[in-house]
Structure 1
Amino acid sequence: MALRRSSIVYGVLGIVLIALAASTRPIIVPLLTRLPGNTDASARFSGTATVLNSKALSAGDTAHVLLSGVPASMDRRVHVVKTKGDTALVADDLTIHIGKNSEPSTARYAVDRGSFDAVEAPVGWKNVERAKGLTVVFPIHPKADDSYTYYNPLTQSTARVVFQGTGRVSGHDVNRYKISVNGALKSSAVLATLPPALPKKLAKSFASRLPAASAAAIAPKAATLPDPIPLSYTVATVIDISLDQDSGLALDSHYQEQVTANVTAGQKKIPLLPVLALDVKPTAATKADIADKASSIDTKLLVIRTVAPLTLIGMGLLLLTIAVLRRRRPTTVETVPNKTAAMTAG
């Protein structure tokens, strides 16, 4: 059976379109979900803080040494500085405003553009944090489980990201997570703002403000403590975050941090007082902006994952149907002269 050339063309095109539809998810989607080289996102948080009053500390004014409920805000900018293959150099610029004071800091991470996990920095990249786990961003389509880990720059340690269930934020389906980190404060930027030691005469004036357990632990060893008394610091951080189930953007979050001063008596570390605390959430404007970006990304992903493949499959099936209907060439019917009629006419 002879096939029309047009039927072959339609059939080939149909098969190509169906094959393209099948490759959209495994090939095209991963390319679109990589961390873009032009990533540049900003967010603003607001809330309150508890801070150490340096003037009151120097004057021995224990009643005013800690200022609580101070208006605070935090500006954060996450941007890709450069890329090299599958690795991106990501800068996390953070400025904390407490009262009239501002404390800027910057951390740089080498991040895998596919998994978004921290990786070893390529040769030549300088001032890059040696981190493990997620650092500044979560991947697209975040998993609804406890498989992620998070690097905390204050303690320079990694903690588990605990899945807390699902919900709705700003009209989006979200996965909720909690991150809890406790450990020694190792951030040089934060340590530089805190006193490294406390004169004994000031320590005595603080005795009445210490927790009962701490006061009882220090009392027997107070005479053996050096003057000034060296201080160490621990930090407790709790982050509650709601991630869009498609884009992975943080549609809502709650950041809580508390730094506590400690003294070492004998072989035991004894907590004194919290000297710095921060409690902030994203502003309404930031939440609205992130929700808009999430909607845009979600729409693009929907088109690539679902609409485009279905359209290609539909077009492919249509072309195959046309190819089947047009598969036979038309049969040429030859006219045979009527010999009887010819003879009669003769």
Structure 2
Amino acid sequence: MTKTRIACAVVGVLSLVAAALMAWWITPSYVARIPDGKNISRNYAGTFQSLLDPAALASGNLVGAVKQNVPMTVLQDVKAEQTSGDKALISDSRTTSAAGAKVEQTKWEYAVDRTSLQAVSSHPSSWNVIPAKGLTVSWPFGAKKKDYQGWTPETQTVAPLTYLRSEKKQGITTYVYEAKVAPTKIVDPQILAALPKQLPASLLKLLATAGGLPAAQAAQLEQILPQLGAQVTMAYTFQDDSTFWVDPNTGLVIDVLRKQQRIAAIALPNGTAVPLIPAVAAAYETTPASAHQAADDARHGHTVIRWLGVYLPIILLALGFVLLLLAALLRGRRRPAAPATGPGMSGPGTSGPGREGPAGPAGPAGPTDPEGPAGPVTDVTPPQV
């Protein structure tokens, strides 16, 4: 009985400790975070309302230089390349195609916190990452109804991610965030590598006179071209208007709608830029198949976090209390003691020192007995302790 009581008490205490560890340490620190090697692929589809063909422009083919209403697709792969403690090296690879032909391919790498998804500056020295700030590839586990700061790789700046509302998407209650980036200079070398750094002044003049520019830009171009050389340095700006539907439990983006522009401009010697035409004007969103897959991933992640962080701790907590209660009840019950023995309580047939021998025959009773006849003899058994 004593061993059973001790075992119940020990297992009960261990269950309570395990419940606390699962709920407040193991799940938040080791379950609700980016696992090593995690790879997420998403597909997007939309339209290039305007797409500048640098090769056609450089050759003087003004008619074919700007294409309009071209179907576009974007394939995005986000992968946890390496992990180190609570930090992860994340790669964000994107391949953009126009009418089935690849027009751009980029890859950015970030060091982020594995739970908050915030970019971090403290990481292994062997990681060659962009010194980003804010959120880079997704929202944190346990996203809140609040504004965040998001990284814009094209401009290498941060922009607000504004919380708007809650909304059902693919059967999941998502948080909706909005990102707006005002026209900002593009500095990312991968983006700039696909755009012409300089254009002949004669080509720009032809572009203005041939009606390739709005009237206001054409008039401004005619004024500034004489001040520039034969080769005109180009600059580009990026602007964005995007909406994200985010699963708050896992931080996964379930759906996204993006409207982006890259504006070609003339870089003036004084550091300012004169906008000309959109090099890229695109609108695209998550494909239905990818949105469905994202919702499945979110549901699976939520189930794992819920079971390990809530249900299992509750089960362990209940088990611990039951075992401790059982141990307390067992302690209150005592095992019955064996009957006590002592002098004068020996059974028949025993003998020992001081025991009297058999008595002789008794003589007849006298005629007068003051106590009278004896009553019946009662066999009194000693009480058990």
TM-score, normalised on structure 2?
0.80
How far the C-alpha of 1:54 sits from its partner, in A, is 4.0
Does the 8 A contact of 2:263 with 2:276 survive in 1? yes
Query: Could you say which residue in structure 1 is the equivalent of 2:21?
Result: 23
The answer to whether 1:112 aligns with 2:113 is yes
- 1:172 matches 2:172: yes
Is contact 1:95-1:105 (8 Å) kept?
yes
| 1:312 Cα deviation after fit | 1.4
| 1:304 equivalenced with 2:299 (yes/no) | no
CA distance in 1, matches of 2:104, 2:305: 38
CA distance in 2: counterparts of 1:177 and 1:119, whole angstroms: 22
User: In the alignment, which residue of structure 2 is the partner of 1:229?
Assistant: 232
Deviations 1:59-85 (A, max 9, x none): 655454321110110111111222222
Matches within 5 A, 1:274-285: 274-285=278-289
Which whole-Å CA distance do the structure 2 matches of 1:265 and 1:90 have between them? 37
Matched residue type, 1:179: A
Bigger CA drift: 170-179 or 108-117?
108-117
Moved more, 167-176 or 203-212: 203-212
Provide Cα deviations, 1:261-285, integer angstroms capped at 9, x if missing partner. 1124564422111111222111111
Once residues 192 and 265 of structure 1 are traced to their aligned partners in structure 2, the CA distance between those partners, rounded to angstroms, is 20
Residues 48-105 of structure 1 deviation map (CA, whole Å, 9 limit, x = unaligned)? 1121134653465545432111011011111122222222221111111112234222
The structure-2 alpha-carbon separation of the partners of 1:109 and 1:203, relative to structure 1 and needing over 3 Å to count, comes to same
- 8 Å contact from structure 2 (residues 92, 109) kept in 1: yes
Q: CA deviation at 1:239?
A: 2.5
Contact 2:245–2:254, Cα closer than 8 Å, also in 1: yes
Partner of 2:86: 86
**Relative to structure 2, which stretch is displaced further, 182-191 or 326-335?**
326-335
- What TM-score do the two structures reach when normalised by structure 1? 0.89
Paired residue secondary structure (1:138): coil
Which residue is equivalent to 1:252? 255
**Cα distance in 2, alignment partners of residues 283 and 43 from structure 1:** 8
1:234 and 1:334 mapped to 2: Cα distance?
A: 100
User: What percent of counterpart residues are identical?
Assistant: 29
Query: What displacement does 1:111 show?
Result: 1.8
Between Structure 1 and Structure 2, how many residues are aligned?
Answer: 339
Partner of 2:368: none
Aligned AA (2:165): G
Contact 1:218 1:265 in 2 (8 A): no
What is the CA–CA distance in structure 2 between the aligned matches of 1:151 and 1:244, rounded to whole Å?
19
Superposed displacement of residue 330, structure 1 = 2.9
| Residue aligning to 1:67 | 67
Determine the C-alpha separation between the residues in 2 that align with 1:266 and 1:82. 44
Change (3 A) 1:341 1:4: farther
Contact 1:236–1:258 (Cα < 8 Å) also in 2? yes
Larger mean CA deviation between 291-300 and 221-230 belongs to 221-230
Using the TM superposition, give the Cα deviation of residue 154 of structure 1 relative to its aligned residue in structure 2, in angstroms.
0.5
Q: Equivalents in 2 of 1:266, 1:301: separation in Å?
A: 56
1:104-253 equivalent positions in 2, closer than 5 A:
104-120=105-121, 121-126=123-128, 128-146=129-147, 148-182=148-182, 183-207=184-208, 208-253=211-256
* CA–CA separation in structure 1 for the residues paired with 2:81 and 2:197: 35
* Alpha-carbon distance between aligned partners in 1 of 2:178 and 2:340, rounded to the nearest angstrom: 86
Contact kept, 8 Å, 2:205 with 2:222, in 1: the verdict is no
Matched, 1:38 2:75: no
Residues 58, 199 of structure 2: 8 Å contact kept: no
How far apart, CA to CA, are the structure 1 residues paired with 2:170 and 2:292?
8
> Structure 1 residues 245 and 219, CA, compared in 2 at 3 Å: closer, same or farther?
same
Structure 1 residues 311 and 209 mapped into 2: Cα distance closer, same or farther (>3 Å)?
same
> Shift of the alpha carbon at 1:301?
1.4
The letter of the residue matching 1:283 is: T
Letter of the 2:94 partner, please give it: L
Point out the more displaced range, 77-86 or 331-340. Answer: 331-340
The alignment's C-alpha RMSD in Å is: 2.5
Secondary structure at the aligned position of 2:236 is classed as: strand
- Give the unaligned 5+ runs of structure 1: none
Greater C-alpha radius of gyration: 2
Name the SS of the counterpart of 1:317 in structure 2: helix
For the Cα contact (< 8 Å) 2:74–2:97, is it kept in 1?
yes
Is the partner of 2:331 in helix, strand or coil? coil
SS, match of residue 295 in structure 1? helix
Shift in CA distance, 10/272, structure 1 to aligned 2, threshold 3 Å: same
1:266-325: per-residue Cα shift (whole Å, max 9, x none)?
Answer: 644221111112221111111111111111111111112321122112212221232232
2:325 to 306, 311, 321: 321
1:216 Cα deviation (Å)? 4.6
Q: Which has the higher contact order (CA 8 A, sep 6+)?
A: 1
